[in-house]
Structure 1
Amino acid sequence: MTDLRRRAAFDIGSAATKLMIADIAGSTVVKELFAREIPVAFAIDWRQSSDGNLSDAIQDKGLSVLRSLIAECEAHGVPQAARCAIATEVFRQAGNGADYLEKVLKEVSLPVQVLSQQQEAEIGYSTAVALADVPDSVICWDSGGASFQITMRDGDGLQAYMGGLGTGVVTSILVQDVQGQSLSSKPTPNPVSSGEAEKLVAQLKSRLDEGPKWLKGSKVTAIGGPNSMFCIAFEALGKRHFNSTEICTVLNSLIGQSDEQLSTQAFCQGDLREAPGYILPKIALLLSVMEHCEIAEVHFCSAIGSCAGLLISARSRMISVLARQLERLRVRLVVNFMHGNVTKPLRGIEWYRIVDRKEDDSIRFSLGWDREPRSVTTMSQHAVFYSWFLLMTWVLKDHIPAFAQQWQTVQEPYLELGPAMWVAMRALQPWSKRERK
């Protein structure tokens, strides 16, 4: 298979960091070579903090986990340009979330794109499509440490039902709001009484938006790894299909159980499993959403986060995300070719200020560039250069041997990035009245 490519996808979630390495042909995962999910409790750490930041300890743990996973990329021969990474809810919420991802870029050379909840839903849907038996009719449910997304296809687009509830958030609600304690003084909610469990479910339902009509009576495909609430339900019931009545039975079986008692159960056995204190909050969230939205049945499909969807949708994601971000930023440039010096057209480009530095940084993370004082200039220069370079190389590759060889070199790392920049540049418009940097 001539177009077979080896790629790696990192999903840096609010509760765990995931990696999948696979051989890809087009939009198909031909062979999965490596898959692992390692718990890193970013969301819990953030909820415990007094200043809304991630602690140094959790940042160090996250970096250590990433170093071990990047070593797997090296061992499997995945080139740096073939590695993509996303980060989710907690890195949008934490005050130093962007700083941590910049540290990831500098220390382990891994550019990370922070996804919006809508983008999380899109990647999660792609994962379900890659795994489901009937892709055209799939409804995907993805739930993490700080949020969840339920998605279905609607014509050419997607409809999504989303909520800011995940393992870390629900555990915090149980300990702080229901039990009246703090996570720092009581790291586990166990044992949980029947009254506390009922109050938790009621609180969760009150925080959910009204369920959409397309979810009522639906059968949903839930994706997740060994620590997901769906996998816990599967291991507790011994089957992958379950309804809300069966989940209610699982929840009742957890009431009054200590950490020591729960640690002997199947859903706490094995390597890299999360602490028993998260078990009841996860099942409570599963039950709350199923009952609130009147979901008829959930089918659990094992997945390493959204890695499978990220692997097969990297091209469309990069094009749409970059073009949308640049348009939202309202980046503007004016091209003035210098008279008598057409051989150096880039010297005639004038750059203009954009106000939102955080948005600028998020684009730079997605492209893998270090932040620097003239970040806007560098970003725009790279966008113009790579778009121009790819276009001219493609035009000349059939006529000049050196360009043909160069095309073979650049198409692997830049073929997907180049069109994204080209689309983005088409959206740029002059903004000549702004002050220059």
Structure 2
Amino acid sequence: YVHTERSLSELTRVIGKMLGVAKGLGAEQFVGICTAAFRKATNGAKYLAGLCEQTGVRLKIVTQQQEALLGFATASSVAGDLAEHEIVAWDSGGGSFQVTGEWDGETHTWMRPVGSGVATAELVKGVMGKDFSQCPTPNPVSVTQAQGLAARLKKAIGPPPQWLTTKLAIRHVKLVGIGGDMSIFRLAEELCGKAVLTAPDVLLAVENMCGKTDRDLRTLEGVPAAQKMPHNVIPKLVLLYVVLDLTGAEAVDFRQCNGNLPGVFVSEDLWEGL
């Protein structure tokens, strides 16, 4: 995986736009974190240096463990109605997911290098046997192909740790999914019409989306997450279903946020020296 000059230019533009908004609101200090896309890229560090130079923002590549802790801090912030010991945070992006919670007085994390982008590539290459560079979308996806992806993802992810399944079995504990407008949770919320999502809810959504083309999904009323990114609708939903099924969670409670921004905001080590 390699970042291109085109992606550097686009990301510089986006960060510049966000800086303008932040400064307009009175912000004076700026930091940012870089996750799986930078961890996996062979030129991630070099690319990051260029971004820092062009934007003037302190950007840092964080480990998956650090990302998990930021996700837990974010979930604790946006789920203010819950105590920290009642929260298991689930942060799922394009290249990885992290599930984090407190158990036996310590913070534990289940981390897997599987995200919506990885699931999309697995569907195209592994299930359909196509060249991902020549076939950027898997749509339309059949029910059989979606089932094949689920089987492959279950094998790739593997069983969850005992601390997680034990904690999720406690009645007052909630699995809290965090993410923005394009997250797997937001997509499922828009399709299911509710923020608290069970495995059967998501499975029904998968079945309803099978057979649809990119054009169908781009015109799907009331579902911006599908309209903007039709190519990974099925992979996102299947990944969501698989993790719910593997953990045995009763449901995931989606709390919307802008990435791990709340966690970054309260993490003092990221701001030291500014």
TM-score (norm. length: structure 2): 0.92
Helix, strand or coil: the match of 2:49? Answer: helix
Aligned to 2:266: 312
Structure 2 residue 66 is matched with structure 1 residue 111:
no
Aligned to 2:273: 417
Q: Within 2, Cα distance between the matches of 1:265 and 1:214?
A: 40
Aligned to 1:74: 23
Q: Within 1, Cα distance between the matches of 2:224 and 2:32?
A: 29
Cα RMSD of the aligned pairs, angstroms, is 1.8
Q: Deviations over 1:38-91 (max 9, x none)?
A: xxxxxxxxxxxxxx3112222221111111111112222221xx2111010110
Assess, with a 3 A threshold, how the Cα gap between structure 1 residues 93 and 62 changes in structure 2: closer, same or farther: same
Structure 2 residue 158 is matched with structure 1 residue 204:
no
Gaps of 5+ in 2: none
Q: Deviations over 1:295-316 (max 9, x none)?
A: 2111010111000111012x1x
Q: Within 1, Cα distance between the matches of 2:198 and 2:22?
A: 39
Q: Which amino acid is 2:44 matched to?
A: G
Aligned-residue offset at 1:268: 3.9
Q: Within 1, Cα distance between the matches of 2:35 and 2:228?
A: 19
Aligned to 1:245: 200
Q: How does 1:191-340 map to 2 (within 5 A)?
A: 191-216=140-165, 217-218=168-169, 219-266=174-221, 268-269=223-224, 274-313=228-267, 315=268, 317-318=269-270
Q: Within 1, Cα distance between the matches of 2:63 and 2:26?
A: 31
Asked whether the 8 Å contact 1:235–1:266 carries over to 2, the reply is: no
Q: Is the deviation greater in 281-290 or in 175-184?
A: 175-184
2:139 to 174, 178, 190: 190
Q: Within 1, Cα distance between the matches of 2:78 and 2:178?
A: 9
Aligned-residue offset at 1:177: 1.1
Aligned length: 266
Aligned-residue offset at 1:135: 2.6
Structure 2 residue 4 is matched with structure 1 residue 148:
no
Aligned-residue offset at 1:154: 2.8
2:82 to 134, 155, 159: 134
Helix, strand or coil: the match of 2:3? Answer: coil
Larger Rg: 1
Asked whether the 8 Å contact 1:125–1:309 carries over to 2, the reply is: yes
Helix, strand or coil: the match of 2:125? Answer: helix
Assess, with a 3 A threshold, how the Cα gap between structure 1 residues 273 and 113 changes in structure 2: closer, same or farther: farther
Q: Within 1, Cα distance between the matches of 2:127 and 2:224?
A: 28
Assess, with a 3 A threshold, how the Cα gap between structure 1 residues 223 and 246 changes in structure 2: closer, same or farther: same
Q: Deviations over 1:264-297 (max 9, x none)?
A: 2246438x96321111110010011111121211
Aligned-residue offset at 1:207: 0.5
Q: Within 2, Cα distance between the matches of 1:267 and 1:190?
A: 20
Q: Within 1, Cα distance between the matches of 2:229 and 2:88?
A: 29
Structure 2 residue 120 is matched with structure 1 residue 171:
yes
Structure 2 residue 13 is matched with structure 1 residue 64:
yes
Q: Extract structure 1 runs of 4+ deviating beyond 6 A.
A: none
Aligned to 1:404: none
Helix, strand or coil: the match of 2:228? Answer: coil
Helix, strand or coil: the match of 2:74? Answer: helix
Structure 2 residue 41 is matched with structure 1 residue 94:
yes
Asked whether the 8 Å contact 1:268–1:275 carries over to 2, the reply is: no
Asked whether the 8 Å contact 1:128–1:135 carries over to 2, the reply is: no
Assess, with a 3 A threshold, how the Cα gap between structure 1 residues 58 and 209 changes in structure 2: closer, same or farther: same
Q: Which amino acid is 2:21 matched to?
A: E
Asked whether the 8 Å contact 1:149–1:163 carries over to 2, the reply is: yes
Gaps of 5+ in 1: 1-51, 319-412, 419-437
Q: Within 2, Cα distance between the matches of 1:116 and 1:157?
A: 19
Asked whether the 8 Å contact 1:268–1:276 carries over to 2, the reply is: no
Aligned-residue offset at 1:258: 0.5
Aligned-residue offset at 1:215: 3.0
Q: Deviations over 1:1-53 (max 9, x none)?
A: xxxxxxxxxxxxxxxxxxxxxxxxxxxxxxxxxxxxxxxxxxxxxxxxxxx31
